[in-house]
Every structure is written in C-alpha cells, then in structure tokens.
Structure 1
Amino acid sequence: MNFNKTIMVVSVALAGFIFLGCQGGYSENEIGLRKSTLLNENVKVSAFDYNGKAAGESVLIDRAFENAPPMISHSVEDMLPITKENNSCTSCHLPEVAEAVKATPMPKSHFYDFRKKKDLKEQMDETRFNCVICHTTQVNAAPLVVNKFEPDFRQENGSTKSNLIDIVNEGVN
C-alpha cells in the first residue's frame, strides 16, 4: 500500500472512532465493576459481600501463588484510610506482637529497604505503610472470570508463609 492510501485509511478509521465516540458513550457510573461514579472515592462499594468479621474470627484464604500478599481476613472499615501516622495494622501484625494476638506477622521483606539494599532490623520500611496497596480484604463472591491457575509452592508452608526476602535475587547474576 502506498503512503497516500495509508494516510487515507488511517484518516477514515480515525473519523469513524471520533463519530462513534460522540454517540452518547457511557456515563461515569457505567464504567468499571463498581457501577458508581469514578470521580468520588467516598462511595461505599456494595457489589460484594465482604465477610466483615472481626480480626481472628475468620478462616484464612491461602495465598494465590508463592509469596503473594496474604488477603486480609477481617473487616478494615474502621481502619481506613491508612497513613504513616495512623496505621492500625501494625498494632497486631508487627512480628513482636503478632504471635501473642495470633495474627499473621509481617515478613522480613517489610523491614528491608530494597532500594538501598539495607536491612532495617526492626524498623518497617517507610514505603510499606499503606497495607491495602498489596493486601485486599477477603470477599464472598464468585470469580468474575474463569481461572484455571493452580499454584505450585516450592516450600511446604508456601501457601501461608513468605520467603521473598530469601529468594528475591534468585536467578539474578
């Protein structure tokens, strides 16, 4: 195809997209899974039945794959927003407290600065304060799409424990 024909085909396709895009389209409430405005984050999402149980009362869901962040097994409704100054998660999940309250302890990787390659000992990495970036609340819902993935854990307790800090450089020369 010569250059002029290519320009003409691209121009017609672009005009078609513009024309179709101006035919009403979708409102902000029709986009995404939550079916509510995308312009306001203060909306309660009621599409799913979060278990809402108190900490320690629910059954833990195994990790989806090796070293996947574990899911939050309890309600976090009164714990949000999580900030550096206000993080309720650490009151139970810091390693020195977790065993006593029967909570999952934060792994060693949360006390390591990967950018500076420095062990922070008992000081949590400042980039790890917002727990819900990686961890999500367990929900009673059917999958939205079929998933045939089967995890293959290399260690016996891989579905419940993380060894990321020990293997993070595995295979790196």
Structure 2
Amino acid sequence: MTTRKMRTPTFPRLPKGPNGGIQLMLIQNVEHLGKAGDVVEVKPGHANNYLLPEGLAIVATDHHKRMVDKHRAKLAEIEKQRLASLRQLADQLSKQSINVEANANDEGHLYGSVGATEIVSALKANGFTITSEQVRLEGVLKELGLYTVKIQLHQEVGTELKVWVVPTAAN
C-alpha cells in the first residue's frame, strides 16, 4: 500500500510590515485602531480572524494606497457629513427622557435588571436607532429611579440620556 502525501492548501501570503505584523488598509473606522484609509500593522490572528472576514480592512497594496490618496478628500467630506448627522442625533438624544418598565418589589428593587438592550428597545419605540454597544453603562440598573446613561455614537461624539426605570403597570 502506498501512502499519498496530502497537499495542504496554500493561501496567498499577506504583506509583512516593518515590525513583523500584517499590513492592512482600513476600509471603515475601527475603534482603538484607526480611521478609514489608514494603513495599520496588526498581528496575523487579528487580521485573519476579524478585520478581513468582517470587511473592515483590505490588503495594503500600492494600488489601494493610490486609490485612497485620490479619494481622501471625498472620504473626508463623507466623514464630515456623518459626524454632523451624529452630532444632531446626539443633540436630540440629550433632550430625550425615556421610560423603561421593569418588575419591582415594594422597596423599589427590581426582580431582574435593566441593561443596554432594554434601553435600546425603549429608544427604538421613540424613533431612535442605536446599537447596544453604543450604550455605556457602569453596570446594570437594579432599582427604580432616574439614571443618566452615556451614549457613545462615535469616538468624537457622545451624549447623555435620562432613563427612568419605572414599575410595570399593574393590569
């Protein structure tokens, strides 16, 4: 019986940076890494497991660098408009006060807790669309009352929102 040697599939090599990491160009802003159009150097695992599959970055070739340089002014204008709309949304959110209903005992302690998902659904009912990652809670809310919750829409745009945790209406 002869043994056959299995060939492992070969994938194209990603370009190494000067520090031994993988050089990628960001397509979108990535928190704690860079802005769209930046060439960054990351560890191979971060590139292969997160940035490339999620479509947040591409391989930094000379062609891509030239294209970004050519369109940098257009990208800056788009980002400026996006920031302006986020600032407007932050201004509207700061004027809002939302109610979140929760089951509570007579002393005002909640049987469960109120977290970011409940706040996001209450905002959605009022016509605002944000993600639960944008809600910055110190911890879950476990008592009835008024809370000030931080909302981080962008690295540069944040606001505060008044959240009333009220008891569920008895039927």
Q: What TM-score results when the alignment is normalised by the length of structure 1?
A: 0.24
Greater fraction of residues in helix: 2
* Higher RCO structure, 1 or 2 (CA under 8 Å, sep 6+): 1
Greater fraction of residues in strand: 2
